[in-house]
Amino acid sequence: MNKKILLICLLTALLGVCRQKDDPAPQQAAEQDLFIRAVDVSSYSEIATSNQSFFDLTGNQKDFLAILKENGVNTLRLRLWVNPNTLYSGFDDVKAFSQTIKQNGFNLWITVHYSDTWADPANQQTPSAWQGLQFESLNDSVYQYTQRIVTQLKPNIIQIGNEINSGMLHPYGNMQTNLPGFIQLLQTGVKAVRQNAPECKIMLHFAGIKDAPWFFNQVSAVDYDIIGLSYYPIWHGKSLAELKSTMDQLQGTHQKKIMIAETAYPFTLDWNDWTNNIVGLTDQLILPNFPATPQGQKDFIKHIHTIIKETSNGMGFCYWGGELVAWKGKQATDGSPWENQALFDFNNKALPVMESLKKQPKVM
């Protein structure tokens, strides 16, 4: 090797060392963006079978996940049912979709319903395969199932139950009739995560704000990382000031990270199929600040984003149903009850609300 070549090699190596010191590697840079900007896309694996085309903010056709990625979404949330009577939201479907999510550079957030169908404040039905078990056997099933989730799906965030206002796995974990049983089931799910995936963050998820302080006092003995709240004006009140004060109270009392685990807002009160929509009346809106328009939807989510940024332990938020366009056709009576709250308009073009999902400057 002559002196000229040796000098070039030395300069190249030196520049490489300087670049490593000054510029974080891509993975390191991504890890510094700790604020979660998530979208729940639980129905997308089904919607994808209808060969829908999606378009970005400028009208260019693009891959659905690519549109979310380019608008700052860094986490995707999926529901998981135990043995659903559908091809979707069961373990195999969620596992396959989870791999796609990770391959596209998103964090993975799994909401475990511990049911064969929707679990929410009014419904916490024990999976059919677990019904009739002795409590000890049920408790073991919760451990084994949760262990399987964290070891095979490898989520970054896991919810132990979904909207568990009334408990979970009724009647075993009904808060009103068996609070100790409910706490034990939560602790068993947590134990499965801590022992098998200690890096995974654990969320407990409550729907609403009114009784949230009471609920999180009841579960204070449970070892978890994140307080998760659902907030929809149609169900949880129209006071964003109350939302902010409740979040401040909760994170101050329990010293946990806090997130809006579910929220959404309509861009219109019209419909794009014959399926009844959940939101369709003006008295379900926060007026006059947030009308059912593309700008009103954008402003609402921007305000949610700002509220969480201004909360000292605010960790992020999740837009629910962003994918729920009218994928079964304009005359479907079993289609989407949510197409007027999706992140895409009735032509599947990305709405301005996407801009409210992007990274915002840190609030000082």
pLDDT of residue 7 exceeding 50: no
Mean pLDDT, rounded, of the chain: 92
The pLDDT value given to residue 362: 62
pLDDT band of residue 360 (cuts 50, 70, 90) is confident
The pLDDT value given to residue 363: 54
Domain boundary assignment for the chain: 32-357
Closest CA to 82 of 198, 162, 163: 162
The pLDDT value given to residue 26: 36
Contact in structure between 185 and 169 (CB atoms under 8 Å): yes
Which of 16-30, 169-183, 343-357 has the lowest average pLDDT?
Answer: 16-30
Residue 187 is encoded by which pair of tokens?
Answer: 């602790």
Closest CA to 165 of 118, 215, 105, 202: 215
The pLDDT value given to residue 20: 38
DSSP 238: S
- What global pTM score does this model have? 0.90
Structural element, H or E, at residue 108? strand 107-112
Which pLDDT tens digit goes with each residue over 301-339? 999 999 999 999 999 999 999 999 999 999 999 999 999
Q: 10 or 100: whose pLDDT is higher?
A: 100
Q: Note the residue count of the chain.
A: 364
Which pLDDT tens digit goes with each residue over 81-105? 999 999 999 999 999 999 999 999 9
CATH code of the domain occupying 32-357: 3.20.20.80
Which pLDDT tens digit goes with each residue over 167-194? 999 999 999 999 999 999 999 999 999 9
The pLDDT value given to residue 361: 72
The 8 Å CB, 24+ separation contacts for 298-303 are: 298/351, 298/352, 298/353, 298/355, 298/356, 299/356, 300/265, 301/263, 301/265, 301/353, 301/356, 301/357, 302/356, 303/240
Q: How far apart are CA 141 and CA 159, in angstroms?
A: 17
Q: What percent of the chain has pLDDT over 90?
A: 89
Task: Look at the block and give the residue holding tokens 């609402």.
Answer: 300
